[in-house]
């Protein structure tokens, strides 16, 4: 009599092996854990970026995927964890920000949510892989996370259009694809990871004034809150990029007048409004760096294109965080104060 294969038999076998312990590697998790090299919080940021770059280069060589794509996915995942800390906790001491839930990693029906055994993870359809070579698939191991993400990303190939197809299947969200491709372009432009320096939006040597007004009621354009900080200055004072980023929007807005929107590597949108004009060389899709001139202070807005002078000249500056599906504003005032102090300190340093 011909025997028929019963899928549940393999599942029952794997479950029994997990519970009896015979499917576990001979070394325990504690025995195979890498020795601690100090908390990430204790290290300078440049050292953290250098160590992260080494991991990305290793994963790139093993997978054939350019490091810039792996870095972009890692940074996008990190930004989602920052925006959704309760749903996606960010590993405090990890160098890699890619996130998998327990069940994504070990398999939906796996009774051991901390499983690191490659065989049982495969039986239950989990994504976890071993990238460090220790025979375990550990969700808290940076190389294992990178290896798992790289394998999933490279399943159609390593060319840009093939990687885009894999990203579409992973995120099912055109917004996510756009963000990751923007990050790739930023990394490829500067060919490094350490791109989180900021600058004050106006030259600190110019005359200006500002105070915290985020959330205040305003009447222009209907009842709504003020989603930014107004920096009052004279016409023609340069308006500068506060970050390494990409020009996402440029042009006229009925409320904001001539405005520019930048996207940085933290997936934060920087909004500049009421400009008198733009730098002529600036266009949508351009990569910018801190301190680069975008345009000049003006009083444009609240009318048809070209409307000027309905209010005193000033820069409206806003920050918006993206959680993958929507954006919301948050108070830029504390960041402006911080960047202003940093610019003043830089200006005081003697030039060699």
- What would the pLDDT profile of 249-297 be if each residue is shown by its tens digit? 999 998 899 999 999 999 999 999 999 999 999 999 999 999 999 999 9
* Burial of 31 per CB tally in 10 Å (0-12, 13-18, 19+): exposed
Q: What is the distance between the alpha carbons of residues 166 and 73, in angstroms, rounded to a whole number?
A: 12
**1 falls in which pLDDT band (50, 70, 90)?**
very low
Task: Give the pLDDT of residue 227.
Answer: 84
Does the pLDDT value for residue 175 go beyond 90?
A: yes
Q: Phi then psi for 240, rounded to 5 degrees?
A: -120, 155
pLDDT tier at 92, thresholds 50, 70, 90: confident
pLDDT, residue 212, reads 85
Longest dimension (CA), the chain: 92
Cα-only R_g, the chain: 25
Strand partners, 253: 257
Q: What share of the chain is helix, strand, coil (3-state, %, to 5)?
A: 35, 20, 45
Q: What is the pLDDT of residue 351?
A: 60
Q: Is the pLDDT of residue 34 over 90?
A: no
**Residue 37 has what pLDDT?**
43
Identify the pLDDT of residue 349: 74
In this predicted structure, the answer to whether residue 223 has a pLDDT above a threshold of 70 is: no
CA atoms 221, 226, 228, 230: torsion sign? positive
User: Tokens 């576990």 appear where?
Assistant: 24
Predicted TM-score (pTM) of the model is 0.84
Please give the mean pLDDT across all residues of the chain: 87
Average pLDDT over residues 72-97: 94
């Amino acid at each position: 009599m011909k025997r028929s294969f019963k899928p549940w038999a393999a599942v029952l076998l794997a479950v029994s092996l997990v519970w009896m312990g015979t499917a576990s590697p001979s070394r325990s998790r504690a025995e195979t854990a890498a020795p601690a090299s100090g908390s990430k919080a204790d290290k300078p940021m440049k050292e953290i970026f250098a160590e992260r770059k080494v991991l990305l280069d290793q994963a790139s060589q093993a997978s054939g995927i350019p490091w810039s794509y792996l870095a972009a996915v890692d940074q996008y995942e990190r930004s989602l964890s920052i925006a959704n800390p309760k749903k996606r906790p960010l590993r405090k001491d990890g160098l890699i920000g890619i996130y998998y839930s327990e069940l994504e990693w070990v398999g939906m029906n796996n009774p051991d949510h901390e499983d690191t055994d490659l065989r049982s993870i495969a039986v239950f359809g989990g994504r976890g892989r071993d990238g460090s070579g220790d025979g375990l698939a550990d969700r808290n191991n940076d190389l294992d996370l990178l290896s798992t993400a790289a394998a999933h990303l490279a399943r159609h190939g390593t060319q840009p259009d093939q990687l885009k197809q894999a990203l579409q299947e992973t995120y099912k969200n055109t917004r996510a694809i756009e963000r990751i491709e923007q990050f790739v372009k930023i990394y490829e432009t500067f060919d490094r990871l350490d791109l989180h320096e900021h600058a004050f939006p106006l030259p600190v040597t110019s005359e200006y004034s500002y105070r915290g007004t985020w959330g205040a009621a305003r009447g222009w354009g209907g009842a709504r809150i003020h989603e930014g900080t107004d920096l009052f200055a004279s016409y023609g004072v340069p308006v500068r990029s506060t970050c390494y980023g990409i020009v996402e929007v440029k042009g006229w807005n009925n409320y904001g007048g001539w405005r520019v929107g930048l996207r940085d590597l933290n997936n934060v949108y920087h909004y500049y409004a009421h400009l008198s004009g733009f730098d002529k060389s600036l266009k949508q899709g351009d990569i910018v760096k801190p301190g680069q001139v975008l345009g000049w202070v003006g009083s444009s807005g609240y009318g048809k294109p070209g409307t000027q002078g309905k209010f005193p000249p000033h820069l409206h500056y806003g920050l918006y965080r993206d959680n993958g599906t929507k954006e919301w504003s948050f108070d830029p005032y504390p960041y402006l104060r911080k960047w202003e102090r940093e610019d003043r300190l830089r200006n005081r340093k003697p030039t060699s």
